[in-house]
Chain A
Amino acid sequence: MAYAGSFDHLFKVLLIGDAGVGKSSLLLRFTDDSFEEHMASTIGVDFKVKTVVVGGKTAKLTIWDTAGQERFRTLTSSYYRGCHGIILVFDVNERETFNHLQQWLEELDMYATVQNAAKLLVGNKIDLQQREVTVEEATAFARKQAMMYVEVSAKTRAGVRQAFEEVVQKILDTPDLLAAASGETSSGIGLAKQEGDTGLCSYC
């Protein structure tokens, strides 16, 4: 229950994107290194915590998943509050999910309270080989929106870790975001320092 391990930053990262693009799989692959072929919509998982070390800094990530709740837009918009990083996921084999990215970005604009939250575009399911969206296209879109683009497969594990580290790096590179993070979680950091000696590490 208590804060485990010591960390330099506590970041809130949100996974968004159309239903079925593999947000939950991505999350589970990253946090638990597991993959379920036939996953139902996420049930029971509110968020997962994972500590990563990027550039010598330890960042504790709370990663939030909104899978299956897309229908209740107004309610899920409260997830955006205080978000430092946004991972925007689409399925490279389904053009529709790529076409909806603009809407997701608008939503983000409207609801995110932390200005300039670090954004990362992730094309998932590259293992399926039924591509409808090319790398070039996705890269161009990402560049236009000042985002990085990464291709991953939650199934084969390809690129997953890199994707999350990319987000952390981007947050670390943005002074405003760091300020927001420390401002919000000062107590957490204080606590971490106090309990740091317990030697528990949540990074697994």
Chain B
Amino acid sequence: MTMSVLQEILATEATYVSDLRVLCEIRARLSAHLTPDSITAIFANVQTLLGVNEELLFGLRGKAEANGSTITAAHVAQAFTALAPFLRSYAEFCTKGSTSQELLRALRKMDPAVEEAVCEVEQTTGQPMGSWLIKPVQRLCKYPLLLKTLLQETPQSGPDYAPLRHAFDAIQNAVTGVNDRVRAAEEREGLLLLAEALGRKDLMVPHRTLLLSVNVAKFAENHEPSGKGLGQEVGRLISMSRSTHKALLWLCNDTLLLGRIRGAAFTLVEKTAIANTSLKAIDLSQDCPEYLRLPSMGEEPEDEKEEEAYNHSFTASEPLFDDTVVRLTCEGGTHYLLCLERNEATKLLHAFADAREKVTEQMQVRAKGALGALQELYTNSSCTPRAAEGGEQPLSAARKMEALRELKAAREDRKGRGEESTDQLHTARTDCTAASSTDVRKRSSSFEMLRRRLSAAAVAAANVMLSPRRGSLDNGQLAGMYDSQERRARTPSLGNTDISAGTFGVRHGSPSEHGATSPSLETPMQSVGQSSGYETPTKSMLDRLDRHVTPPKPAAFDLPPPQQQGVLRDLIQAAERNGDFYLEPLLAAIARRTGVPTPEAAGAHPDDEQDVEELAPSDSETEY
């Protein structure tokens, strides 16, 4: 049986390679009648595929011949393992495949010469062009099946099993990869067409793909989303003309777009980020006005009593129409009522729920990464004695985990998040005051605790700032928190804008503050820190920590490794997306130190050295 599978692999591969040769010949023959662009669009890289598969066939057959013309499982494993990376070239062919047949059909209709040539090809080859063009796709999908069958028939204890298993995994992965790439290409293609149709090239951003487009029979703005008037609004929507209120809804992986159809043109009505959008089906059995309901009793009521019963059944009966009404709430707070065909609505709601789940997941991963980076900054900077000092070790992985766990707990309590971080900051501050009164190196346990709290406070604060769904309440709490800090830091101005400016307070501060003498409380540690390159947490650091979550001391801050920069970039992007003014100063500071450019930082502060100098913990800040 194994023998027959082996033979089948070899025989079908030989057939396939000869089919590919035919396809290449067809390509050559048709190139006399078609433009080079059309040829590429139809035949893609079929010549490359021929090369790849000739190589495979040679591998299989060559081995067979050398082996006295019997092919063995080991040879197959070897040949396919070698083939796997080259299967990637199928992605191009398969991507073109989605349009090649339509294109060819259109070209045949347009040009009789093409039609004649294609007819001739179909006659001589005995198969329609469509069959020829799909062969590579079919063959690609068969490789995993062939290898799987072979694997199933190979004894697991035998010497062939492991290499075959390896070959199967490699091929399976390669084909899955092609499948994914083709899907991604199709989704991108969809978005490109959409952006062009809407005349909105700005919709094309990397990583955005079009997942689904849904016909909306009618749509209208929903003026009273929560009020009693819903039934009336639904009624109005239902009675609207389909021709004037038709729309399309496009679901991208990060955005939902609503476009009105006017004749053959589309206009974009609404663009809203999925993370801040909700889509809910309205229960029409509740909110449908009576005149749109189907009477459930066929007979007319004869007396009063029956009439009452009739009326009762009337209101409780099914809506007169079969569509689903969905409420769309956009990030700007606008509500729409959409009337969709039932199947379309189901499809949309499912796809939306999936997309939203993915977005939330990504946000979490991103926030976690960013917070990790923040923590790292802490570990690498002020709170850790330099390893060279021979003092304490940098924050261990276990400790980091612990801090992350703290962060998680903080995240779970979503409601009290703002308060919690304020609270943690406060605790950290108290600890710091206690700790800074003596040489912390001699109180290592307290130091450790403090460091942990610092980290936790930083991540908690950052968590508040990075949270994609931060409500106004959190914002307010945060603002309040900053307010109080600002007041203590002698910055007279209050309010959001001023807080933002206030975070640069250090920089804006008068030069004389810079060289001000440290209060006696700080002096011992500060001098230790300066002389040895190791710094203990100081009040000044905490001050800036809870105001900006800024890495405290540039002198002790090592340039982060590339992956850390990547995370920082994520952080910056997250902040940009949220338009987060609280984060701005932090990002600018990080960017200056790490060389990760942000739009604000680039060129905004040409004098880097000065900035770093100014962002260094200035002694003036230590008063508390």
Stretch at the interface among A42-50, A129-137, A153-161, A162-170: A42-50
- Residue contact B122 to A72, C-beta cutoff 8 Å: no
- Residue contact B145 to A68, C-beta cutoff 8 Å: yes
A191 an interface residue at 8 Å Cβ cutoff?
Answer: yes
User: What distance in Å separates the Cβ of A90 from its nearest Cβ neighbour in chain B?
Assistant: 19
CA distance A62 to B127 in the complex (A): 11
A40 an interface residue at 8 Å Cβ cutoff?
Answer: yes
The 0/1 profile, CB within 8 Å of B marked 1, for residues 14-45 of chain A is 00000000000000000000000000111110
User: What distance in Å separates the Cβ of B17 from its nearest Cβ neighbour in chain A?
Assistant: 15
- Residue contact A187 to B123, C-beta cutoff 8 Å: yes
CA distance A12 to B131 in the complex (A): 10
The 0/1 profile, CB within 8 Å of B marked 1, for residues 140-151 of chain A is 000000000000
Q: For B119, B128, B144, B152, which residue has the most chain A Cβ atoms within 10 angstroms?
A: B128
CA distance A129 to B141 in the complex (A): 33
B488 an interface residue at 8 Å Cβ cutoff?
Answer: no
CA distance A72 to B175 in the complex (A): 8
- Residue contact B101 to A69, C-beta cutoff 8 Å: no
CA distance A62 to B180 in the complex (A): 28
- Residue contact B130 to A81, C-beta cutoff 8 Å: yes
- Residue contact B179 to A2, C-beta cutoff 8 Å: no
What residues of chain B lie closer than 8 Å to A204, measured between beta carbons? none
- Residue contact A76 to B141, C-beta cutoff 8 Å: yes
Which of B5, B98, B128, B145 sits near A42, CB closer than 8 Å?
Answer: B145
Which of A47, A68, A76, A188 sits near B122, CB closer than 8 Å?
Answer: A188
- Residue contact A73 to B179, C-beta cutoff 8 Å: yes
Q: For A78, A184, A190, which residue has the most chain B Cβ atoms within 10 angstroms?
A: A78
CA distance A47 to B137 in the complex (A): 13
- Residue contact A74 to B119, C-beta cutoff 8 Å: no
What residues of chain A lie closer than 8 Å to B180, measured between beta carbons? 74
B186 an interface residue at 8 Å Cβ cutoff?
Answer: yes
- Residue contact A43 to B149, C-beta cutoff 8 Å: yes
CA distance A41 to B147 in the complex (A): 11
A residues touching B (Cβ–Cβ < 8 Å)? Answer: 1-3, 10, 12, 40-44, 46-47, 62, 68-69, 71-76, 78-79, 81-82, 106, 113, 184-188, 190-191
CA distance A1 to B347 in the complex (A): 44
Instruction: Assess A44 versus B142: contact at CB under 8 Å? Given A72-B175, A82-B101, A185-B128.
Output: yes
What residues of chain B lie closer than 8 Å to A47, measured between beta carbons? 131
User: What distance in Å separates the Cβ of B237 from its nearest Cβ neighbour in chain A?
Assistant: 25
| Beta-carbon nearest neighbor of A67 in chain B | B145
- Residue contact A79 to B128, C-beta cutoff 8 Å: no
User: What distance in Å separates the Cβ of A71 from its nearest Cβ neighbour in chain B?
Assistant: 7
- Residue contact A1 to B126, C-beta cutoff 8 Å: yes
CA distance A142 to B183 in the complex (A): 30
CA distance A2 to B101 in the complex (A): 22
- Residue contact A75 to B118, C-beta cutoff 8 Å: no
Q: For A44, A62, A113, A191, which residue has the most chain B Cβ atoms within 10 angstroms?
A: A44
B8 an interface residue at 8 Å Cβ cutoff?
Answer: yes
- Residue contact B122 to A187, C-beta cutoff 8 Å: yes
B282 an interface residue at 8 Å Cβ cutoff?
Answer: no
**Contacts beyond the supplied A44-B8, A72-B141, A79-B134: 14 A-B pairs with Cβ under 8 Å:** A2-B126, A10-B128, A42-B145, A69-B145, A74-B183, A74-B186, A75-B141, A75-B179, A75-B182, A81-B101, A184-B128, A186-B119, A187-B118, A190-B119
CA distance A47 to B130 in the complex (A): 13
What residues of chain A lie closer than 8 Å to B102, measured between beta carbons? 113
User: What distance in Å separates the Cβ of B108 from its nearest Cβ neighbour in chain A?
Assistant: 9
CA distance A85 to B511 in the complex (A): 82
CA distance A12 to B122 in the complex (A): 16
- Residue contact B128 to A78, C-beta cutoff 8 Å: no
B1-16 residues with Cβ-Cβ distance < 8 A to A are 5, 8, 12
Which of B145, B175, B182 sits near A41, CB closer than 8 Å?
Answer: B145
Which 10 A-B residue pairs are closest in the complex by CB-CB distance? Answer: A187-B119, A69-B141, A74-B183, A72-B179, A1-B126, A68-B145, A74-B182, A187-B122, A74-B179, A2-B126
B326 an interface residue at 8 Å Cβ cutoff?
Answer: no
